[in-house]
Structure 1
């Protein structure tokens, strides 16, 4: 899946080199090197579940960029839509600093990065290779800068033109843009979105007016364009709203190790089941399962399950899988 074949899913966004410290950064110590990015996390999750997926992003002409591409290729993600910035822009960097057992600080070094300069022509090449069944976008990409926002919006228009299903995970990042700026962009995207995924506190960013409850907000959104509104509720599971009414799935009980990447794993599970033709209840079930795998494992994407592993959460404690 690292070549130029047909992809079921196309996603685009910034993937950075991730450094995970063993303790407070000012005290030094060791760091584990990996890569991280919401869209590539979803891509890896889908690839592990057996779906052909293409990632279109931009990396720097540097060793960090090579690490990103090498990692994605190793995970079976098609990177033929990726581009290398030849203007000197570096690959972005983020650092995870554990400060308390349940508190980790994240430091970003992404201003002027290659990923923030993703261009619309890269998206056009990705669609020209083979229009995907699903385009997956997040609210992170348009927050990176004008070029990245333009690339995402070009992808949105191409998806509409080719009849691709559009999935949007709001993924609001207050350190990248304000709620007002996010709402202006996301509200304009809503009519072109088929599957909208958001946490309960992100949902209002997609509505131009104040609506009281998540159920009322979902009802408003279903009339505005999306046919599915999926609300992530953390430890309470998730609820999907469609024209047929709400469907809820409780979270899977696991020992929490690292919540980073859980939302991306949830999206990968939901899209995987959608591509398999599962009903809404089946999509939620797979989504909360893949999300649980992420919570129970360290790292952004490292704990993402394969299809054969999906049933492992139902095994009795102490089970040895041979």
Structure 2
């Protein structure tokens, strides 16, 4: 898989509550496409990242971390702008909810451009993946995604609408244009995003409105689980009740695991069942990538759940 996006440094509050009263933070490498990439690799497949980080200590940290996870970072450029940051505020003012506070305007990652998209690399991929976040961070990053999607018909897209980055109208216009121009094999979304895109929060009705743009649709529904729509059929995989530390990155864990497993030949339904486990484990810790499981860990989890 080839992914395009912005690698970020996440500073996650060690304690819950408003950040004005938080004194200690943990540092993690994050960013949606980076999370997808690591999840994809944990299930036995390779991933190449296209993007930019700052020529600074955080940028070096991101490159070294992802390389250590097995990501091909050959096409991650060093940029003179700083690596983007975001802080995580947890359990305030909404319990079991995490809020991202961004410091990324003008960041190195936002300077991603079509010239960064290596045509031979993208054409040779089994799958090319990006998200609505990359469409939102800059016009040049948006153009890079459009270029990459024009080069490979095996495309995956997670809507990942972040309203701190753009308005609902901007999100709907850009994402729907991408899907109209370049329908995807896998569309990963949720009920909040589908309300913005097609004015519908019911998963079944939303998928009906989106099905012309995707062969397979995954509709995430938070702790309830997720629904899969394909070839006129519907499959629902329920979630699990576990202690929640931080929900940031849970959707990326689900999506990256699902894509890797279907690439390896798993059925869509089994891939989604396993992806739900990955998402479940993700919410139990701080950090987006540290708890991403491999196949043995997922199967151990499922065996233990079967005993209960």
Give me the TM-score of the superposition, normalised by structure 2.
Answer: 0.91
Say whether residues 1:156 and 2:168 are aligned partners: no
| Partners of 1:269 and 1:22 in 2: CA distance | 27
Say whether residues 1:37 and 2:31 are aligned partners: yes
| Partners of 2:273 and 2:229 in 1: CA distance | 14
1:122–1:51 CA distance, 2 compared to 1 (3 A): same
Moved over 4 A (4+): none
Q: 2:87 aligns with which of 70, 92, 95?
A: 95
SS in 2 for 1:313: helix
Find the counterpart in structure 1 of residue 207 from structure 2: 218
CA contact (8 A) 1:266 1:288 kept: yes
Find the counterpart in structure 2 of residue 233 from structure 1: 221
| Partners of 2:248 and 2:200 in 1: CA distance | 29
Find the counterpart in structure 2 of residue 143 from structure 1: 136
| Partners of 1:130 and 1:215 in 2: CA distance | 33
| Partners of 2:232 and 2:150 in 1: CA distance | 28
Root mean square deviation of aligned Cα? 2.0
5+ long unaligned stretches in structure 2: none
SS in 2 for 1:293: helix
| Partners of 1:69 and 1:16 in 2: CA distance | 11
| Partners of 1:59 and 1:94 in 2: CA distance | 14
Find the counterpart in structure 2 of residue 59 from structure 1: 53
- Deviation at residue 315 of structure 1 after TM alignment: 4.5
Find the counterpart in structure 2 of residue 169 from structure 1: 158
CA contact (8 A) 1:258 1:295 kept: yes
Find the counterpart in structure 2 of residue 255 from structure 1: 243
Q: 1:296 aligns with which of 258, 280, 284?
A: 284
Q: 1:312 aligns with which of 280, 289, 300?
A: 300
Find the counterpart in structure 2 of residue 14 from structure 1: 6
| Partners of 2:60 and 2:158 in 1: CA distance | 27
Aligned length: 300
SS in 1 for 2:87: strand
| Partners of 2:5 and 2:122 in 1: CA distance | 18
Find the counterpart in structure 2 of residue 197 from structure 1: 188
Find the counterpart in structure 1 of residue 177 from structure 2: 188
Give me the TM-score of the superposition, normalised by structure 1.
Answer: 0.87
Aligned pairs (5 A) from 1:71-86: 71-85=65-79
5+ long unaligned stretches in structure 1: 1-8
| Partners of 2:228 and 2:285 in 1: CA distance | 25
1:70–1:225 CA distance, 2 compared to 1 (3 A): same
Which of 1 and 2 has higher RCO (CA within 8 Å, sep 6+)?
A: 2
